[in-house]
Structure 1
Amino acid sequence: MSQSLNTTQTTGISPEAYQYAGSYGLGTPIQEYKVSYTKKTIVSFIFALILTIGFLWLGYGSATDPASDGSSIVAFEIIAALFFLMGLYMLLYPLIYRSWHMYICTEGFVSLRWGKVQAYRWDQIAAIWVAVTKFYRYGIKTNTTYRYTVQGKDGTKIKFTNTYTSIEQLGNTLVEKSTQALLPSAIASFNAGQTLGFGSLNVNQQGIMSNRGDLLPWGQIAQAKVESGSLIIKKQGKMLSWASATVASVPNFYVLLAVIDYARSNQAR
């Protein structure tokens, strides 16, 4: 359903964002994301270029060495070619994904990829999964990968990964907006006595139920916290966790946290 927009254009937002927002009734565009050069891609390109030159030099050295056989020359050339292709990919990265755009609007978002348009209002989102993985070497963080999977009420899914520049900011916005849209109905269903499902965990007015079928009443919960990428639930008087679930495996994880906080605060009154 189309609607006219009586707004001034936000600085940094392309005119196309306003056209799509108007066409799909998504309100005012507030953020735009695309694929561009980052420090990581530039460093990777330089690294690949240096290695390409290095292995070509080694190949040249082998070619001019009378004692060298042809196999080492071929090996150096193959390795140099692989690093060259890697560097070329990094150099052309923004061009390869130039059609990828993501427009965040006040009432929803529009995703453009390879000419395909997918638009959702925030109230059309059924679930969102968050997977953030941090990699360490010798205690130092070397890389972080992000994957946000959005599922609409029509069953279709869209994944957002490190392909996008500023993926962490994009993901946080998706989580915040979808949680704001989903939480009121979740609280209303909870208050109506319904059981809410969040992957391997279910919650209702009686407490939390695990996938084993066990029920932990709200009044017996000692702790519910996120630790090392998992939700850890502990029962009063017990050292070990009563149940746990990885953040990445739980749909609408932050809705679940909010419902748990809501139920426990009501229990304490």
Structure 2
Amino acid sequence: MTRPETASPLGAHRATYEPKPEPWIGTSIAGAALVLSLPIALIGTVWLALGYAFVLAVYGWATWSKVRHAARGKGARLDVFARGLRVTGPGTNVFEFRWETLSFVSSIIHSHKNGTVESTYVYALMGDDRRVLIIGDNAAAPRTHFFDAVETVRGPAFVDPKSWGGTIQRRTAAVQLPRVARMIEDGRTVTFGPLQVTAHELRTADGDAVPWSRIDRFRLYAGQLEVRAADVKRPLLRKRVGEVPNFPVFHALAESLRERAH
């Protein structure tokens, strides 16, 4: 990590994260294998030639996708400050987000391959200007509920996503939780995408409602949020964590209301 040279209205600088290098070794090996197998495809059957053409098309699409993703990281950087973060790139784009107004959803996937754990991190961020920036690994972006977004931009991946992603989650929760708690105390409804929180119950966009006194616990499993009661085997509600904006804020608020009701 490096330090920026200029001050920011977002406060004191905390860290800078550089673009994540794109791994090319797998692409190179696959390309070499295709070149070596070309003579076999040319002298083989029609079906063999068609199969080779299909594999070549898939390889070309995957390579082009990696090239585009690598281009997004050219000159990019992610700077974390005391009161928010700034993402420079792709291109001439500059995005600034303040902890107190940031809306985000995330998709964090851990998979086991050959005895090791591989993780992908993708975040969709929306700030005061209602522009959405998607940063992280070259994977499927989380489904966002930013219906009022004016623009969506796909950005690069940055090194150490566990660190900067954890900072986004912790700082957003720490800054926004007191405000939404006061809203609940004032009798207002706080909306987190498909979920609505009131002082008395948890609601969904589908019209379901569960009183806090009915909820025994929240279970996080395989990217899902399950709302459970002690006397019911099946979850009362189930939602994908990646569909709930500012999930750490929602989770902390919901837990406090559940505990207060018991």
TM-score, normalized by length of structure 2? 0.75
Structure 2 residue corresponding to 1:176, chosen from 170, 176, 182: 170
Pairwise CA distance, 1:202: 1.6
- Secondary structure at 1:232 match in 2: strand
Tell me the distance in 1 between the aligned counterparts of 2:235 and 2:65. 46
Q: Which residue of 1 aligns with 2:142?
A: none
Does residue 1:13 correspond to 2:7, yes or no?
no
Pairwise CA distance, 1:183: 0.8
Q: Which residue of 2 aligns with 1:211?
A: 205
Once the two structures are overlaid, the 10-residue window that deviates more, 189-198 or 70-79, is: 70-79
Q: Which residue of 2 aligns with 1:130?
A: 106
Pairwise CA distance, 1:141: 6.6
Does residue 1:154 correspond to 2:133, yes or no?
no
Q: Which residue of 1 aligns with 2:92?
A: 115
Q: Which residue of 1 aligns with 2:78?
A: 102
Pairwise CA distance, 1:233: 0.8
More helix by share: 1
Tell me the distance in 1 between the aligned counterparts of 2:261 and 2:35. 70
Instruction: Identify if the C-alpha distance between structure 1 residues 51 and 229 changes in structure 2 by more than 3 Å, giving closer, same or farther.
Output: closer
Pairwise CA distance, 1:82: 8.3
Who wins on radius of gyration, i.e. which is larger? 1
Structure 2 residue corresponding to 1:167, chosen from 156, 161, 166: 161
Pairwise CA distance, 1:59: 4.2
**Superposed CA offset, 1:100-149 (max 9, x none):** 11101111111111112122222232x211222344569x6774332211
Instruction: Identify if the C-alpha distance between structure 1 residues 239 and 51 changes in structure 2 by more than 3 Å, giving closer, same or farther.
Output: closer
Tell me the distance in 2 between the aligned counterparts of 1:171 and 1:18. 23
Could you tell me whether the CA contact under 8 Å between 1:52 and 1:84 is conserved in 2? Answer: no
- Secondary structure at 2:216 match in 1: strand
Could you tell me whether the CA contact under 8 Å between 1:36 and 1:165 is conserved in 2? Answer: yes
Pairwise CA distance, 1:225: 1.7
Alignment of 1:83-102 (within 5 A): 97-102=73-78
Q: Which residue of 2 aligns with 1:3?
A: none
**Superposed CA offset, 1:76-119 (max 9, x none):** 79978986997798699767622211101111111111112122
Between the aligned residues of both structures, percent identity stands at 17
**Superposed CA offset, 1:146-166 (max 9, x none):** 221112233222211212222
Does residue 1:46 correspond to 2:25, yes or no?
yes
Tell me the distance in 1 between the aligned counterparts of 2:128 and 2:68. 36
Task: Tell me the matched-pair count.
Answer: 241
Structure 2 residue ranges without an equivalent (≥5): 138-156
Amino acid in the other structure paired with 1:133: I
Tell me the distance in 2 between the aligned counterparts of 1:196 and 1:225. 21
Could you tell me whether the CA contact under 8 Å between 2:97 and 2:126 is conserved in 1? Answer: no
Q: Which residue of 1 aligns with 2:146?
A: none
Tell me the distance in 2 between the aligned counterparts of 1:218 and 1:85. 49
Tell me the distance in 1 between the aligned counterparts of 2:51 and 2:97. 51
Cα RMSD for the two superposed structures: 3.5
Tell me the distance in 2 between the aligned counterparts of 1:33 and 1:177. 17
Tell me the distance in 1 between the aligned counterparts of 2:237 and 2:70. 43
Could you tell me whether the CA contact under 8 Å between 2:10 and 2:85 is conserved in 1? Answer: yes
Q: Which residue of 2 aligns with 1:5?
A: none
Amino acid in the other structure paired with 2:108: V
Could you tell me whether the CA contact under 8 Å between 1:55 and 1:77 is conserved in 2? Answer: no
Structure 1 residue ranges without an equivalent (≥5): 1-11
TM-score, normalized by length of structure 1? 0.73
